[in-house]
Structure 1
Amino acid sequence: MRGALMKTVVGGVQWAVFLFASSIAAPIAIAHVFGMDAAETGLFIQRTMFVLGIACLVQAIAGHRLPINEGPAGLWWGIFVVYAGMVGIAYPTGEDALQALQSGMLISGALFILLAISGLITKMKDLFTPTVTFTYLMLLILQLSGTFLKGMVGVESAGDKIDGLLFLGSFAVVIVTFITMNHIVSWVSRYSVLLSIGFGWILFMLIGKAENVNLQSGQWVRLPELFVYGKPVWDSGMFITAVFITLLLIANMMASIRVMESLLKQSFSITPPDRMKQGSIASGINHLFAGVFSAIGPVPISGAAGFVGATRMASLKPFIAGSVIVISMTLIPSIMSVFAVLPAPVAYAVTFAIFSKMVEMAFHELDAEPKRDRSYKVAAIGLMIGVGIMFIPQESMSELPHAVSAVLSNGLITGTVIAILIERFYISREKHAVE
C-alpha cells in the first residue's frame, strides 16, 4: 500500500515537472511582447499554470479521462502576439487588447460546449484516420524541432550566436534522457523525465548557465485574481477569431486524444472508451476558466503520448496527483519563483528526447492504414503544404484579416486540414467508382 502511494506521489511530481517545463515558455513569451514587468509576468505565469492544473483535473475526472496534460494552445499564443502588435492601432493600450483576448476565451469556451452538445464533435472524430494522424504528428514534430534546437543552443533571435557551452550542456541532457528512457531498470525509465531535468539543472548550475533562485518573502499563499483586465467586452473581430480558433482547437484536441488512444492500445493493451464529447465539454469549461482567470486558453498536448511512452505511466492516478501538485504550487509564490528560473535549454533538451518517440508513433500510425497508396498521396500533399507554410514569414500575412492570418500562418493546422479534405475527396471518389 505504501509502495503504491509512493509510486503515485513520485509519478505525480514527474507529471508536475513535465507540465511546468513544457508550458512555462508561453506565458513568459506573451508577457514579454505585452511589455509586462517582473511582477505582472509572475502573476500571469501563476494564473496560466493554475488554469492548466485545473484543466488537467477537469479532463481526468469528467472529460476524456486520459493521461494527457493540458498546455497553452499554440493558436492562442499566436493570437496573443498578433493582438500585441495591434496595441496603439486597434486598441489604445495593451490592457485593452488583453481584455478582448480574455473575452475571446469565454466565447471559445461557450462554442466548445455548444458543438459538443449538438453532436457535431462525434461526427468529426471519423475524420482523424491513421493517415491524418500521421500527417498531424509529423507536422507537429517538424514545427517544434527547430524551436527545441534553437532553445538548446541559446538562439532566441536572428542575430544571436550559438553558445558552445550551452550546446554541450544541452547535448549531455539529451543523452542522459535517452539513456534513462530506455534503461533496463524499470524505475529509472519510469522517472526518466524527472531524473533528466534534475541532472540538467545541476549541470547548468555547475557550468554557470542557471539563474539564482530569489525566494519571494512575505506572502505565503496567493490566490489568482479574476478578470484582471476588466469585465468581458463584446469585440466583433475577436468573436470571428474565436470561432475559427475553436474549430481548429477541436481538431487539435481530437488528434491528441486519437494519438493517446493509439498508444494505449498498442503499448499497454488498453482500449479506452470513446469520450470525445465529454472531452470537448471539458475543454469548453477549461476555456471559461482561462477567460475568468485572464490566462491562456489550454488544449490537450499530443506530446503527452511521448511522455507516457517514455515513462510507461499510463495510469490516471499519478496524472491526477501531478495536477493537484501543480495547482498547489501555483498558490505558493516561493515555489513559483523556483520554477521560474528552470534553465530553458534543459526543458528544451528533455522535451526534444521525448518528442523523438512521437516520430516512431507517427510511422506506426501509417502502418495501420490499409489503403497505403492513397495514404502516401494524402500525407505527401498535407506535409508539403504544412511545412511550406512554416517557411513563410508571418509578416507576409499582416494585411490579411486576423482570423485568416492566424489560420494560414499555422502550418500544423493548415496541413492537417488539407490532409483531411484530400482524404475525404479520395474516399468519396472511391465510393462513387464502386457504385
Structure 2
Amino acid sequence: MQSLRSTVTLFSSFQWLFFIFANTVVVPISIGAAFHLPSDVTEMTMRSSLIFTGVACVIQGWKGHKYPIMEGHSGLLWGVMLNLGLSAPSLGLGYAEIGGGIATGLLAAGVVTLIISAFNLISYVQKIFTPMVMTVYLFLLTFQLIFVFFKGMLGITEEGEINIPVSFLSLGIVILVSILKLKGSRNISNFSILIGIIVGWIFYSLLFPNTDSGMGSTSVSFSFFPLGVPNLEFGIIAIAFFAGLLNLCNTFASIQAASELMGDDASHKQYRNSLFMTGGFTIFAPVLGLVPYTPFTSSIGFLQSTQIYERRPFLIGGMLLTIIGLIPPFISFLATMPITVGNAVLFVAYLQLFGTAFNSVKGQHFTSDTIFRLAVPVLIGVSLMNILPNAFANVPMLLQPFLTNGLIMGVLISIVLEKSVNWKRYEQLQN
C-alpha cells in the first residue's frame, strides 16, 4: 500500500512539474521577443524564471496560502507588459525606457502590497474585490486563457496560417485527454494531463522530427534589470502600478476557489501571508526582468482535472522545476517539449476553470435588470479581447494598454458597477 502511494506521489509530482513548466516557459521567451532582448539575455530570464517559479510555488504552498496552487507569472501583467513592449514604436519611447518605467511601477506596487499585508488592510481590499467582481474575473480569465491556448495548439505560422498537420495532432491530444478524463479509471483519469503530454510529445517527435519545437539553448549573460533600469516615465509607471495592484484579485480569487474546492474556509492569515509573499515576489521580479508572480487561479482547473489535492506532489514539482533551472542539460531536454502539445493539454485542463466561474454564480438570481452587473463587464471584456490592438491607434497612448486588455477593462467596469449601482434595490423592485 505504501509502495502504491509513493508511486502515485511520484507521478503526481511529475504531472505538476510539466504543468508548471508548460505555464512558465513561454512567458520569458515572449517578453524577450517583445522587448528585442539579445538571445543570451532571454536565456538568462528563462532560467531565472524556472528557478524562481519553483521557489515561489514551494514558499506559497509551505508558508503562504498553503494550498496546491501554482505561483506563476501573472497573466494580467504578462499581457500589459507585452502590450507596452509591442507599442514602443508608437509610444515614441525606447524599449529600455518602457522596461524601466514598468520596473518602477511594479516595484511600487510590490511595496504597496507588502504594506497592505503588514498593516492588515486586507478587509479594505476585499470590499473592492467583491464576490461579483471575482466572478467577472473568473469568467474573463477563462476566456483569455482558452483563446491563448486554442490559438497556440493550432501551430499558427508566421504568415498567420493554421498548420493543418499540427492542428490535427493537437485535436487528437485534446480528444485523448478528454476521453481519459471522462472514461478512464480513477488512476488513469487523475493522470490524464501527464499522459497527454507524454503521448503528444512522442507523436510530435515522430511526425515532425526536424521541427524546432522547443525554445533552444544559448550561452547565458546575467544582468540586473534586463528590460531597463528603473526611471521616471510617469505614464508607464502609472499603468504598471495600477495593473500590479489589480493583480491582487488573482490572490483573492485563487484562495477563495481553492478553499471551496477543498471544502474548508480560508483563514484571514492565509490571505495575509499569501499577499505578503506575492508582494515580495512582485518587488523581486523586475530585478531579473520577469513578469511578477501571483497565485494561478487556473490551477483550480488543473486540480479538478486530476482530482489530486495533496500538497506534497505540488511542493515536489516546484522543487524539481528549480533543480531543472539550475542544471542546463535538464533545461535542454524539457526545451524539446513542443509548445503546441503543451497548449493542447492545457486547453483541456482550463476547460474546468469555466466550471469554477459558473459555480461562483450559483445561488445568485438574476433579473432582466440585475443581469447587467454580470453581462456588461464580461461581454465588453470578451469583445475587447477580440479587437486588434491597432484599432485603438487614435486613442491617447496612455489609455491604449488599458483598452486593449479585455480582462483589465472588464474587472474595472465590474468594480465601478458594484460601487455605483444599488443592485439590491432592483432585486426588490422585481419582487
User: Which bracket does the TM-score occupy, shorter chain normalised?
Assistant: 0.7 to 0.9
- 1:169 is displaced (CA, Å) by 0.3
Q: Quick check: 1:152–1:346 contact (8 Å CA) kept in 2?
A: yes
Mapping for residues 41-52 of structure 1, pairs under 5 Å:
41-52=42-53
The corresponding residue for 1:305 is 300
Task: Rate the CA distance shift 1:376–1:161 in 2: closer, same or farther, 3 A.
Answer: same
The corresponding residue for 2:266 is 272
User: For 1:203, what is the secondary structure of its paired residue?
Assistant: helix
- 1:31 is displaced (CA, Å) by 1.3
The corresponding residue for 1:185 is 185
CA–CA distance in 2 between the matches of 1:298 and 1:376? 33
- 1:432 is displaced (CA, Å) by 12
Matched, 1:38 2:33: no
The corresponding residue for 1:285 is 280
Which has the higher mean CA deviation after the structures are superposed, 44-53 or 103-112? 103-112
The corresponding residue for 1:247 is 245
Task: Rate the CA distance shift 1:96–1:426 in 2: closer, same or farther, 3 A.
Answer: closer
Mapping for residues 189-204 of structure 1, pairs under 5 Å:
189-204=189-204
| Correspondence for 1:260 among 253, 258, 266 | 258
CA–CA distance in 2 between the matches of 1:377 and 1:230? 42
Q: Quick check: 1:122–1:276 contact (8 Å CA) kept in 2?
A: no
User: For 1:71, what is the secondary structure of its paired residue?
Assistant: strand
Which has the higher mean CA deviation after the structures are superposed, 121-130 or 60-69? 121-130
The corresponding residue for 2:139 is 138
The corresponding residue for 1:83 is 85
CA–CA distance in 2 between the matches of 1:284 and 1:302? 17
The corresponding residue for 1:13 is 14
Residue type at the aligned position of 2:110: G
User: For 1:366, what is the secondary structure of its paired residue?
Assistant: coil
Matched, 1:329 2:327: no
Q: Quick check: 1:152–1:348 contact (8 Å CA) kept in 2?
A: yes
Task: Rate the CA distance shift 1:385–1:89 in 2: closer, same or farther, 3 A.
Answer: closer
| Correspondence for 2:350 among 337, 355, 358 | 355
The corresponding residue for 1:73 is 74
CA–CA distance in 1 between the matches of 2:275 and 2:87? 31
Task: Rate the CA distance shift 1:227–1:359 in 2: closer, same or farther, 3 A.
Answer: closer
CA–CA distance in 2 between the matches of 1:351 and 1:138? 17
The corresponding residue for 1:155 is 156
Which has the higher mean CA deviation after the structures are superposed, 246-255 or 197-206? 246-255
Give the TM-score, by structure 2 length.
Answer: 0.87
Q: Quick check: 2:99–2:229 contact (8 Å CA) kept in 1?
A: no
Task: Rate the CA distance shift 1:162–1:278 in 2: closer, same or farther, 3 A.
Answer: same
Q: Quick check: 2:50–2:321 contact (8 Å CA) kept in 1?
A: yes
- CA RMSD in angstroms comes to 3.1
- 1:231 is displaced (CA, Å) by 6.0
CA–CA distance in 2 between the matches of 1:167 and 1:20? 22
CA–CA distance in 1 between the matches of 2:223 and 2:185? 45
Q: Quick check: 2:384–2:404 contact (8 Å CA) kept in 1?
A: yes
| Correspondence for 1:342 among 337, 347, 352 | 337
- 1:186 is displaced (CA, Å) by 2.2
Q: What is the CA deviation profile of residues 386-435 of structure 1, one whole-angstrom value per residue up to 9, with x for unaligned ones? A: 1222233322445656653323321112212322332344446639989x
- 1:47 is displaced (CA, Å) by 1.4
Task: Rate the CA distance shift 1:401–1:250 in 2: closer, same or farther, 3 A.
Answer: farther
Residue type at the aligned position of 1:236: F
Give the TM-score, by structure 1 length.
Answer: 0.86
- 1:304 is displaced (CA, Å) by 0.2
Q: Quick check: 1:54–1:323 contact (8 Å CA) kept in 2?
A: yes
Task: Rate the CA distance shift 1:88–1:137 in 2: closer, same or farther, 3 A.
Answer: closer
The corresponding residue for 1:236 is 234
Consecutive unaligned residues of structure 2, counting only runs of 5 or more, are none
- 1:45 is displaced (CA, Å) by 1.0
- 1:140 is displaced (CA, Å) by 1.9
User: For 1:201, what is the secondary structure of its paired residue?
Assistant: helix
User: For 2:290, what is the secondary structure of its paired residue?
Assistant: coil
Matched, 1:170 2:156: no
CA–CA distance in 2 between the matches of 1:155 and 1:310? 27
Task: Rate the CA distance shift 1:161–1:87 in 2: closer, same or farther, 3 A.
Answer: closer
Task: Rate the CA distance shift 1:375–1:314 in 2: closer, same or farther, 3 A.
Answer: farther
The corresponding residue for 1:394 is 389
User: For 2:294, what is the secondary structure of its paired residue?
Assistant: strand
User: For 1:260, what is the secondary structure of its paired residue?
Assistant: helix
CA–CA distance in 2 between the matches of 1:391 and 1:366? 25
Task: Rate the CA distance shift 1:290–1:57 in 2: closer, same or farther, 3 A.
Answer: same
CA–CA distance in 2 between the matches of 1:432 and 1:364? 21
User: For 1:272, what is the secondary structure of its paired residue?
Assistant: coil
- 1:379 is displaced (CA, Å) by 1.1
Task: Rate the CA distance shift 1:148–1:83 in 2: closer, same or farther, 3 A.
Answer: closer
CA–CA distance in 1 between the matches of 2:421 and 2:428? 10
